[in-house]
Structure 1
């Protein structure tokens, strides 16, 4: 449930909303007028819920504008809608972009959208459960293309006003039907709360800041732009030898894709779904587009209407989220770019350099809140916010400035790394964040987390929209590699003449070699691969374990001897040992930060046991050596220290846990989100007998439910990383998990892909499977990023099942573009299948294959690129599953003479669709 962007006081709007509902009780068998059409007739036939279904009254029978003698005529409904538009425009102020000439058109579209309430078979219970945002989306999707005549600004205003109208409509339903509040107490309470917040915002005045506030605000924004306009670029030495390996954010920022969390994902229980460590994006959905669940031929139903079914959530650019949604929870694996996105939003907003599609953020005051810095103390009060951020201007802020910014609704809260708080304080953090947002509504808020750290719907009751960062596509990897080498050409390295060679080698190798392709799915790993490739003159290590090991060795000696500002105090080996101690201490403490005193005490406790550390060295000098002579630590303004990335902390902590023989501790916490990667790395470094102890420990009895399943699946996923393991232990793992890899639930089938290539050994011969089982197996195998998976899937390519062929097409982006296209796609019967394209290589390859009648766009393209890449005469069905930018202007579709159908998710807005092309939402 989201708080509406267009706010109207209930005293103004609810008298109008009340007119939408009939004053008389519903009649048992109302007759239908000619004008109401077949859809209304279907609603009447289903006036009562099916036996055994959830109780509720059909809203179509409660409205005032249906029936033989409606209380509210069509003309009156249009006038009512236009009155709502007038109030909505008045509430947005003089800066609104909707012109006077658009008011009547928006009112007509709103009336047509509201009229759908009387045409759908939705009950009041179902509507309240959906909430205003999803109920508005359902209404809008029932009339696709109705707003095609509106300008972009008018269309967005209509959507915001529709959500507000739905909020008050649902509230009126609850007020008139007390049983709804009894049946759905939490939802009803939340809707009432949103109405109250809406009323406050509708009447709140936004006074101009005082001269003192304005002067400080300017200084604060300048410091934010300076403070966060740096990112770590591994392997690049900057001209200043005292500086860390950082680079301008402007030069290196890569806009990544993200996927909405769908209602189906929320219903599946959430936390289990999130444990794949990847996102299978809109092109995956459940492998069953709306066409595929119809009659079996994969076409529309033949009657001219769209076949009902599940439509996967679209992909969007992650950095656009806050321009559309007031509150966003962004999930992403370690290194996927969450913190970089937070920094980019802060810098772009503070410096006023936002792109045109993010102008809605203009004038916001960004507050970056790394959770690791206040996890134990809780979210700070407004007066303590700058101090908790360790902002250098905290002592100079006018008293009460932060509270005034929050009260004016101008703040943008960027809460980074909620997963870095210990599990036992998450509920407290949520309560504190909820209270802050309820007191100071209207402020934008982005919260980031690792995928499996917090439960599904952790913040959904507070109106947060969930997004998950998608793995980098082939095109994004190539873009990152190019940007990295462009940055490297400006450093002080002496190998600039070979950078073109290094870049070309990676651009050729990553798509081909499985080890590189699997690792290069997020900016952190991509950066490490680039740095190591340069550091080793084009000779890369193989596998995750070797990559981390090589990266640590490189970062421990990142400064060239001729550039040092003081003599090396420590050799590489003692540096690494001390860093392991610090990382292990953080792991045990459940923290990502050590205060200065604790770090010094930890060094003092262990330095004496390492013979190669001179006895006369002060702990402070050792600490400075670790900080300045390695690329692994960074110090905050208050002297506390943290690792540059959680992945490196986990790696070093795992090495230390194995060295200390702390297998009991590892097993005790293995199923916890913050320990899983540590456990995998520990298994990779353990000796054979220790490895067996760890894996057998995961299988011991005593664990139940989800924790037991997680431990067993973790054991299976670790098999990919072991260096040596006795056959008995391997057999035990197989025996414990063999039945877990063949569930009937499609969602669980997808999750199994995170086990890696080992899962292929547990699956049956594809030739022995019927089509329904083959489809379920394909859901798993298309998520195993290994060349062996292509061999398995190629044996399913001749099947006739539409949903199986669709899943095989959807798997393309996870494998080498050329090989998968030749061994799988070329042989698929294309009837009814939408072929997805996510980058330019896939678009070019699909054209080489002769094009296809049905194409799904799952990447960021410009219209001219699609015009050049798609076969114009062949294309008949186009599916837009990616937010292609503001406006989504579709006039260019005129160039496709055979195009009959445009499929667009209801979350996306298209304009300018040529006449004759049917829009399916």
Structure 2
């Protein structure tokens, strides 16, 4: 029988009195509109004002079921099934005691929607019921919810509350419309911006995922499908949250310098942010005008950095000449610009100060826009742009979940069996060397492609993986696909690599990330006479076209230029050319430049025993650089050891000794240099100081002390060393780092403990939790939880007083898994639930910190959280309802260095 018919057959005179017993009676004026009350606070069967016992509630359910049995003609249902239905109805109705919604929201759901919601929150209620019993249970729930909503609408507070909710919704809508109006172009600019928006979507809305063109999958993914949201780690100033999704960095601050290693996804993030301006989204970028400015393109051929009116033409935008006169000025003066400057590291080191001055002039002229600058970690020093109000963040290595997500999606897009994906994930977990490599999207794509191409066999080291990838790209792909036809150009693998590495080395020697097409053809013309079997197949122009189309390594960002699909391949092949040319003195002379770091590492990998000795000793014994440059050289040499499969023990020892003199790190720059070295440095990191020294900095409130080392006390220097050691180790996110970090779990300095808890999500939840989190001192320390597994782990450790929610939870999930009575300090970085009412479940909550991207917060509901004393909010957020808070509640604004 249809639920509506059942509802009609169950008379209101019978059902309504039963339903009313489930709720408290409110007198006139109860639950005034400025004090919204959650459904769970209206029920009469839980809480301090409880008037309905469990036995009485069961009787109500029993009566509802009995009436429904008569109404539906299901008297033949066995008694034990009727009793089971009664228990199921009781269980589902009891869920109302945990509902995180108010009466207006419940009415908006409708009675069927409310019934489905209650049933979904009590999935075990119907276990073991027959089909007929489930039908009866459903009928009773639908009917009960119909009368529950009728009861809500008859409450005295419902109509005024509805009007208030409508007013708030309209107010929020008006704010959003006002925001969009400020971003709307002038009538003269509208048509061009619409066309420009389509251009941005077409150009940046696709992403090449390495290796997909080796299978039957598409050569490009739609960005919406391919984009993998990685995390960014805020800098020590606290101006950014300690850890947030990388695409949220501009929601937290208008000017950000984002660092990331090669292949970590910096350029992909730039694409994502640009495309996000073309459609409504959660990033609050819709309606802004993006200017994507890759510095490698802007400085092509030694070109001068462009003025704003040249932004589009400088990146070869085909509609640049159509922009209305003065358009760029109107956009930037209105603060509607999103300026994405990609790759500070891809211009010569001597030119970076010029680039900074160019950026400073832009900002001083058009300050009200949003700015993102990307770079490799070692390319610019710490706080390089802090004087211009930039905050800094680092792209974190891919977590285990990121890697698993990437691998599964890669195989799905390539149309490959899930079995390959699962086998690869097992290999990454079991083989430590492989797991160390799969920490960024580029290497993950390489590993996926090779695993599929070689039917499950994978090389061990980085050099071997690059060698196999080149073989796959340059030779095996065309041969196995039968691409060659009679009369077509056929170049052997060795000659193919030799030609391309000449292009790579020319670009490295000349400090370029792009090469003029004409220069590339001329360089090939010089090389062809030494390769007669290649030269006889075509002209230099024809050979160039063949390499461009068939190699999979080269591309043309414009009709006049050429570059590599990724800088990593340029460095790898350039290093090979340098070693084959015995150009070791030139390598040594440039080793102090950050653009040469990967070239040097790969040169060591390509070298033979005597060549490695010459290269490494030449690097560590240079005396013509500054002290800072010498430190970089010694750490670079240490980083090369993992690629030195064969090396004189005396040379290895000398390299390690020189590097160990720089450990422990005492500054952020030194820590970053260690991070660049990679996992090999973990063996060099020291144990913490003895306990008496630790106690002297137990408060840890002073933040980063940027005074010179000689101005600090011995205790201060020791504390800094411990902090920066942990800072480095947590960012070398391999399982081996856990052993190092475990040495510091008893350290009292708050900065050290903060770094340790922030790193939890980068490692295995259970292993890191048991080895590190469970042992940390709790004083003044927020324990972050980014997923239910971490929340459950915290509870298994006995709970914690200070909790920071950094992941996506529902209020019900959080309440079900945390120890409510224990929590005294709560920090929210995500929006949970539709109201603040769920906070009433914490009887000892004294402090609440809220990080939100919402422009407006209503504080009035927090008046109903009596123990609360302090509410900390972000700067800039608009607050209402302050007058509803009791006088003992203090609302303060978040400090920039908040921890």
Please state which band the TM-score falls in when normalised by the shorter chain. 0.5 to 0.7
Which residue of 1 is the match for residue 501 of structure 2? 580
Which residue of 2 is the match for residue 916 of structure 1? 867
Structure 1 length normalisation: TM-score? Answer: 0.64
- The structure 1 residue matched to 2:277, chosen from 345, 349, 353, is 349
Change (3 A) 1:231 1:800: closer
Q: What stretches of structure 2 of length at least 5 have no aligned partner?
A: 1-166, 176-180, 695-717, 873-893, 895-899
Which residue of 2 is the match for residue 250 of structure 1? 224
Which residue of 2 is the match for residue 534 of structure 1? 452
Q: Looking at both structures, which has the greater relative contact order when contacts are Cα pairs under 8 Å and sequence separation is at least 6?
A: 1
- The structure 2 residue matched to 1:381, chosen from 304, 307, 314, is 307
Change (3 A) 1:852 1:207: closer
Is this contact kept in 1: 2:604–2:640, CA < 8 A? yes
Matches of 2:170 and 2:235 in 1, distance apart? 26
Which residue of 1 is the match for residue 550 of structure 2? 629
Deviation at 1:601, TM superposition (A): 1.0
Q: Report which stretch shifted further, 387-396 or 719-728.
A: 387-396
Matches of 2:483 and 2:224 in 1, distance apart? 28
- Tell me, yes or no, if structure 1 residue 216 matches structure 2 residue 134: no
Which residue of 1 is the match for residue 814 of structure 2? 867
Which residue of 2 is the match for residue 673 of structure 1? 594
Which residue of 2 is the match for residue 259 of structure 1? 233
Change (3 A) 1:346 1:734: closer
Is this contact kept in 1: 2:260–2:375, CA < 8 A? yes
- Tell me, yes or no, if structure 1 residue 546 matches structure 2 residue 464: yes
Change (3 A) 1:596 1:649: same
Which residue of 1 is the match for residue 708 of structure 2? none
Is this contact kept in 2: 1:574–1:612, CA < 8 A? no
- Tell me, yes or no, if structure 1 residue 362 matches structure 2 residue 302: no
Q: Report which stretch shifted further, 585-594 or 228-237.
A: 228-237
Q: Report which stretch shifted further, 863-872 or 644-653.
A: 863-872
Matches of 1:364 and 1:908 in 2, distance apart? 18
- Tell me, yes or no, if structure 1 residue 702 matches structure 2 residue 624: yes
Written as runs of structure 1 = structure 2, the 5 A alignment for 1:429-440 is 429-440=355-366
Deviation at 1:696, TM superposition (A): 1.0
Matches of 1:785 and 1:372 in 2, distance apart? 30
Matches of 1:323 and 1:804 in 2, distance apart? 27
Change (3 A) 1:463 1:316: same
Structure 2 length normalisation: TM-score? Answer: 0.66
- Tell me, yes or no, if structure 1 residue 593 matches structure 2 residue 514: yes
Is this contact kept in 1: 2:309–2:328, CA < 8 A? yes
Matches of 1:444 and 1:746 in 2, distance apart? 26
- Tell me, yes or no, if structure 1 residue 478 matches structure 2 residue 404: yes
Which residue of 2 is the match for residue 393 of structure 1? 319
Is this contact kept in 2: 1:654–1:682, CA < 8 A? yes
Matches of 2:790 and 2:531 in 1, distance apart? 54
Cα shift readout 1:676-718 (whole Å, capped 9, x = no counterpart): 1211121122111111112111221333321111111212222
- Tell me, yes or no, if structure 1 residue 741 matches structure 2 residue 663: yes
Change (3 A) 1:811 1:368: closer
Matches of 1:764 and 1:324 in 2, distance apart? 35
Written as runs of structure 1 = structure 2, the 5 A alignment for 1:282-321 is 313-321=241-249
Is this contact kept in 2: 1:256–1:469, CA < 8 A? yes
Deviation at 1:861, TM superposition (A): 2.1
Deviation at 1:729, TM superposition (A): 0.8
Change (3 A) 1:797 1:395: closer
Cα shift readout 1:839-879 (whole Å, capped 9, x = no counterpart): 555445555x4553256547432335851774334752556
- SS of the residue corresponding to residue 643 of structure 2 reads coil
- The structure 2 residue matched to 1:339, chosen from 237, 262, 267, is 267
Q: Report which stretch shifted further, 528-537 or 815-824.
A: 815-824
Written as runs of structure 1 = structure 2, the 5 A alignment for 1:421-436 is 421-436=347-362
Matches of 2:509 and 2:497 in 1, distance apart? 18
Deviation at 1:510, TM superposition (A): 3.5
Matches of 1:545 and 1:858 in 2, distance apart? 41
Matches of 1:841 and 1:551 in 2, distance apart? 37
Matches of 2:688 and 2:383 in 1, distance apart? 37
Is this contact kept in 2: 1:691–1:722, CA < 8 A? yes
Matches of 2:630 and 2:450 in 1, distance apart? 38
Is this contact kept in 2: 1:262–1:313, CA < 8 A? no
Change (3 A) 1:637 1:857: same
Deviation at 1:590, TM superposition (A): 0.7
Deviation at 1:504, TM superposition (A): 1.9
Deviation at 1:642, TM superposition (A): 0.9
Matches of 1:153 and 1:723 in 2, distance apart? 67
Is this contact kept in 2: 1:568–1:625, CA < 8 A? yes
Which residue of 2 is the match for residue 464 of structure 1? 390
Q: What stretches of structure 1 of length at least 5 have no aligned partner?
A: 1-149, 159-203, 264-281, 283-310, 490-495
Matches of 2:327 and 2:347 in 1, distance apart? 27
Matches of 1:839 and 1:475 in 2, distance apart? 11
Matches of 2:335 and 2:732 in 1, distance apart? 45
Cα shift readout 1:477-509 (whole Å, capped 9, x = no counterpart): 3332233233223xxxxxx3xx21122234444
Matches of 2:507 and 2:420 in 1, distance apart? 37
Is this contact kept in 2: 1:315–1:858, CA < 8 A? no
- SS of the residue corresponding to residue 328 of structure 1 reads strand
- SS of the residue corresponding to residue 222 of structure 1 reads helix
Is this contact kept in 1: 2:501–2:577, CA < 8 A? yes
Is this contact kept in 2: 1:477–1:521, CA < 8 A? yes
Cα shift readout 1:172-195 (whole Å, capped 9, x = no counterpart): xxxxxxxxxxxxxxxxxxxxxxxx
Change (3 A) 1:791 1:604: same
Kindly report the root-mean-square deviation, in angstroms, between the aligned alpha carbons of the 2 structures.
4.0
Matches of 1:261 and 1:900 in 2, distance apart? 28
Q: Report which stretch shifted further, 838-847 or 638-647.
A: 838-847
Matches of 2:825 and 2:419 in 1, distance apart? 39
Change (3 A) 1:781 1:532: same
Matches of 2:529 and 2:851 in 1, distance apart? 63
Matches of 2:469 and 2:776 in 1, distance apart? 42
- Tell me, yes or no, if structure 1 residue 442 matches structure 2 residue 368: yes
Written as runs of structure 1 = structure 2, the 5 A alignment for 1:267-282 is none
Which residue of 2 is the match for residue 120 of structure 1? none
Matches of 1:554 and 1:659 in 2, distance apart? 22
- SS of the residue corresponding to residue 526 of structure 1 reads helix
Is this contact kept in 1: 2:340–2:372, CA < 8 A? yes
Deviation at 1:641, TM superposition (A): 0.8
Matches of 1:261 and 1:805 in 2, distance apart? 16
Change (3 A) 1:893 1:624: farther
Matches of 1:571 and 1:746 in 2, distance apart? 47
Deviation at 1:358, TM superposition (A): 2.8
Change (3 A) 1:466 1:801: closer
Change (3 A) 1:825 1:397: closer
Is this contact kept in 1: 2:663–2:686, CA < 8 A? no
Q: Report which stretch shifted further, 322-331 or 395-404.
A: 395-404
- SS of the residue corresponding to residue 414 of structure 1 reads strand
- The structure 2 residue matched to 1:520, chosen from 431, 438, 441, is 438
Cα shift readout 1:771-816 (whole Å, capped 9, x = no counterpart): 7479566565555545444445556667888877766555544544
Deviation at 1:425, TM superposition (A): 2.0
Is this contact kept in 2: 1:368–1:416, CA < 8 A? yes
Change (3 A) 1:678 1:911: farther
- SS of the residue corresponding to residue 570 of structure 2 reads helix
